[in-house]
Structure 1
Amino acid sequence: MLSTQLQRRFLLSSLRGDLRKVRCYATKKRFYTRTDIVQNENKWEVILDHRKLKTPNGQVFNVDTEGLARAVAAEWDAQQDIIAQPTMHLTALCNTALDNPGKLTKHDIAIHLLEYFSTDTILFFSDEEKELQLLQEEKWGPLLDWFEKRFGVRQEVSKDLQPPPVSTETRAVLARHFLSYDFPALNAMNFGVEALKSPILMLACVDKFIQAKEAVMLARLEEEYQLQRWGRVPWAHELNQVELTARVAASLLIIQNSTELHLEKIKKSHQIEHS
């Protein structure tokens, strides 16, 4: 019998695998000419010609807001002769939130993110190259200062291969923060964290302290440093940067959508109470 912790890790692995599966789908020709959206009660659906878009498990694809529905429809509308599903991050994130193939809970994802935290990219400074270490201090230092002030915690960094300690207080603060999001937003948070290899960078993006493109550059700081010294393969690194930025941007759109919806519900609740 697997322990609870191992079960959670297995489930998170399944979730990540589901998001990666979109990269393995056989390409297929575009089979529709028009994309549109339609409201069905309090949900919004995406229409391809006159057929409703469905998830991999056969559910009718639906989201909570018109804005997100339009963004997903635009993703499908942007496809050319061939449907490039590996680039359709919004669709993949929404599908995973709807189907939940790993049967995960918010707590499962929050635990995974907490375990991920001690391996955060920007907590590991170079102990071999002084020039790189100075660059990391210059670029990552402000992010770490922001993180400590934003969450009221102290966080050490590592200058060797050993993960830095993460206090019980820091874990508790982050756990409460992660669990304040709904499942689709937390699922998207996890996707963005894995793209950046950094919960701190993703949290900074969510708080609009930095933009997605800047977060990707900070996540790739050591790689960019080495490329400047040894040269780069034309186009390859730029394409990778664009791909990572697209993943983070899709994650942020889902999170922003969920946050705005939550605030709207609170506002309506207050209006009813005072009416």
Structure 2
Amino acid sequence: MIRLPRLLNSKSIYSTYCRYQKYATRKRFYRGTAIVQNENKWEITLDHRRLKTPNGCVLNVDSEPLARAIAAEWEAQIEVIAQPTMHLTALCNTGLDNPGKLSSHDIASYLLDYFPTDTLLFHSDDEEELKKLQNDRWAPVLEWFQKRFNITQEVSRGLQPPPVTTETRAVLARHYLSYDFFTLSALSFGVEALKSPILMLACVDRFLEPKEAVLLARLEEEYQLSRWGRVPWAHELNQAELTARVSAALLVVQCSGETHSATTKASPNE
């Protein structure tokens, strides 16, 4: 098994990249944004100057829709540039600069090790109401996942992670490595935001919308809040931020995938 750098064992690539940046906010210094095509790449311009990554590379992407979304992200900054909220820009910077000096195999191995801790694989065995809620809401996604990858996956009803077969790891490894590094790093960010590889894969395959995935990821938390109460606005803001992160990751993955293939990814076992 490939051993991961300490970077991935403790923090996400994205979080490390946020620390890697020298600022969180600064005043808006440009009047307008646009995109330009340079051969088979798309670039973003700020007042006709090419947007660059913190390492000085030109920020270019393979997809026109993704370039337009990044330009819109910069256009949406009013008086100051709130870098922590600009998830598309940060994800693309991460994919291009690769501050952690990782490979696709590093990220794939990380995601495989993450899989046994997937939120959807831990079901309550104490509270009947929560148990029923998890079965009603999570079971259809787990059924889709097993059918999609032609595997069988147990769930845990305690604190110990469920067993994951060698065959399941192999199937998932092949699927992850079918993506390039740029796309895989964005996929990893979405997985960490949801704390669930299964939910992120369901979003990529359009089985779930980001908002649905976030609600499923927060199912137990929402159950507890319904019993004990919530802080007004705080939990809604957290949910909105989480949805924005997942949506950004999903946009990068889908735009990158559609650039290389006009068809949906075939099942790894086909």
Fold shared, TM-score > 0.5 on shorter chain: yes
Shift of 1:16: 3.8
**Aligned match for 2:5, one of 5, 8, 21:** 8
Contact map agreement 1:23 1:85 (CA 8 A) in 2: no
Q: How does 1:154-193 map to 2 (within 5 A)?
A: 154-193=152-191
Q: How does 1:1-275 map to 2 (within 5 A)?
A: 5=3, 7-11=4-8, 13=11, 15-21=13-19, 25-264=23-262
Counterpart in the other structure of 2:267? none
Contact map agreement 2:24 2:84 (CA 8 A) in 1: no
Shift of 1:23: 8.8
Amino-acid identity (%): 68
More helix by share: 1
Deviations 1:129-166 (A, max 9, x none): 11111100110011111111110000000010000000
Distance 1:202 1:144 in 2: 12
Shift of 1:264: 5.0
- Code of the residue aligned with 2:205 in structure 1: it is D
**Contiguous gaps of at least 5 residues in structure 2:** 264-270
- Code of the residue aligned with 1:8 in structure 2: it is P
Shift of 1:20: 3.7
Shift of 1:91: 0.3
Give 3-state SS (helix, strand or coil) of 2:117's partner: coil
Shift of 1:48: 0.6
**Contiguous gaps of at least 5 residues in structure 1:** 266-275
TM-score normalized with structure 2 length: 0.92
> Aligned residues, how many?
262
Give 3-state SS (helix, strand or coil) of 1:118's partner: helix
Task: Indicate the RMSD between aligned Cα atoms, in angstroms.
Answer: 1.8
Contact map agreement 2:130 2:220 (CA 8 A) in 1: yes
Shift of 1:17: 3.3
Deviations 1:195-254 (A, max 9, x none): 000000000001111100000000000000011111111111001101110111111111
The 3 A distance-change label for structure 1 pair 16 and 152 is same
Contact map agreement 1:11 1:103 (CA 8 A) in 2: no
The 3 A distance-change label for structure 1 pair 33 and 22 is farther
- Code of the residue aligned with 2:184 in structure 1: it is L
